Amino acid sequence: AQTVTQSQPEMSVQEAETVTLSCTYDTSESDYYLFWYKQPPSRQMILVIRQEAYKQQNATENRFSVNFQKAAKSFSLKISDSQLGDAAMYFCAYRTSYNTDKLIFGTGTRLQVFP
């Protein structure tokens, strides 16, 4: 069974600095998708970024980028130029490409941003 591990329950960063959130996963499949979701205090889960496993190029969305290491089964999220609005819970998630649309989530990392 696939699993997703986020080993950092909490992280903090100063405004304008860069922070990296870690995520590792376990799967025997070769084709899959990986996601980072953000959950602010409003509780609305928001998709931050996604990565297809067959793509070698790391996904980027404005200040958010990933470091996808397929062989190491690692999928970290880098937030550059951190802003106060980035403070939230961040969840890493995995979805197989085979015949199911279920997402498997990690336990989350709470990010605090200090002015």
Partner 1 sequence: DVKVTQSSRYLVKRTGEKVFLECVQDMDHENMFWYRQDPGLGLRLIYFSYDVKMKEKGDIPEGYSVSREKKERFSLILESASTNQTSMYLCASSPPRDYGYTFGSGTRLTVV
The region, left, alpha or beta by phi > 0 then psi within -120 to 50, assigned to residue 62 is left
- Nearer Cβ to partner 1 (50/73): 50
CB 40 within 8 A of CB 34: no
* Region of 16-24, 62-70, 76-84, 98-106 interacting with partner 1 (CB under 8 A): 98-106
Torsion of CA 18, 23, 29, 33, to 10 degrees: -50
Q: Is 108 in the site for partner 1 (CB under 8 A)?
A: yes
CB nearer partner 1, residue 11 or residue 103: 103
Give the residues across from 55 on adjacent strands. none
List residues binding partner 1 (CB under 8 A).
4, 6, 9, 33, 35, 37, 42-45, 47, 50, 91, 101-108
